[in-house]
């Protein structure tokens, strides 16, 4: 249960103000159909984080415990720093969701899946799956739930939601959590 809760909390916080949350806002503003957008985000996140979780689980089996501890510790500390850099949805990404043969659901799945590639939350999923060895399903369920906690309200409430969030504070809290996880891993606490 710890792996699910930690994964949910970290990803929900990390997703605030993230480019994929901004993409959620763009999709909501463009299509004004929240159900297929939310379903598309769920499907894309499950697939993307499923692969990321599997990679994290595989890494755990390949690397020795000591090397993995250092990689995870330094990786979580790097994520803490990355959390303090605000995301922007650039023009190329904003132009991706185009209504066509895919429809709103398909467009959301494709746009969200590719926007999530190499994103903070995807990398966090890899690291969390490696950290919570043997609990990949709980980690993926947690990171997916965290994504939905952050993005479903963004889709449903649009700009009103985004403008009310103290994004800088949320990012600082997420950075502090990543820093603590990194230090715990480096000092082998709870390992």
Query: What is the pTM for the complete model shown?
Result: 0.71
Q: Output the pLDDT for position 94.
A: 44
Other Cβ atoms less than 10 A from the Cβ of 113: the count is 18
Give the per-residue pLDDT at 65: 66
Tokens of 132: 């919570």
> Cα separation of 126 and 107, whole Å?
25
pLDDT attached to residue 60: 79
Helices 167-186 + 120-131 axis angle, to 10:
30
Q: What integer pLDDT is reported at residue 92 of this predicted model?
A: 40
Of the candidates 95, 121, 129, 106, the one whose C-alpha atom is nearest the C-alpha of residue 23 is 95
Q: What is the pLDDT of residues 143-164, one digit of tens each?
A: 999 999 999 998 988 756 555 6
Where are the extended beta strands (E) located within the chain?
Answer: none
| Predicted local distance difference test score (pLDDT) of residue 190 | 57
Q: Which residues of the chain have pLDDT under 50?
A: 90-99
* Inter-residue long-range contacts of 167-170, CB under 8 Å, 24+ positions, other chains counted: 167/16, 167/17, 167/86, 168/86, 170/13, 170/16, 170/17
With H, G, I as helix, E, B as strand and everything else as coil, classify residue 56: helix
Residue 93 has what pLDDT? Answer: 44
Please give the pLDDT value at position 140: 96
Q: Which parts of 23-179 are beta strand (E)? A: none
């Amino acid at each position: 249960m710890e792996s699910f809760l930690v994964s949910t909390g970290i990803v929900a916080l990390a997703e605030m103000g993230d480019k994929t949350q901004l993409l959620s806002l763009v999709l909501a503003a463009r299509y004004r159909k929240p159900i297929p957008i939310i379903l598309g985000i769920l499907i894309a996140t499950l697939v993307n984080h499923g692969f990321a979780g599997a990679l994290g689980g595989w890494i755990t089996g390949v690397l020795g415990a000591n090397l993995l501890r250092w990689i995870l510790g330094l990786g979580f500390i790097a994520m803490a720093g990355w959390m303090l850099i605000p995301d922007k949805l650039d023009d190329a990404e904003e132009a991706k969701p185009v209504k066509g043969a895919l429809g709103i659901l398909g467009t959301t799945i494709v746009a969200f899946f590719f926007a999530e590639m190499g994103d903070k939350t995807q990398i966090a999923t890899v690291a969390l799956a490696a950290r919570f060895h043997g609990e990949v399903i709980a980690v993926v369920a947690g990171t997916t739930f965290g994504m939905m906690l952050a993005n479903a309200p963004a889709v449903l409430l649009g700009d009103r939601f985004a403008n009310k969030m103290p994004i800088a504070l949320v990012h600082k809290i997420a950075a502090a959590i990543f820093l603590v996880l990194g230090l715990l891993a480096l000092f082998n606490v709870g390992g």
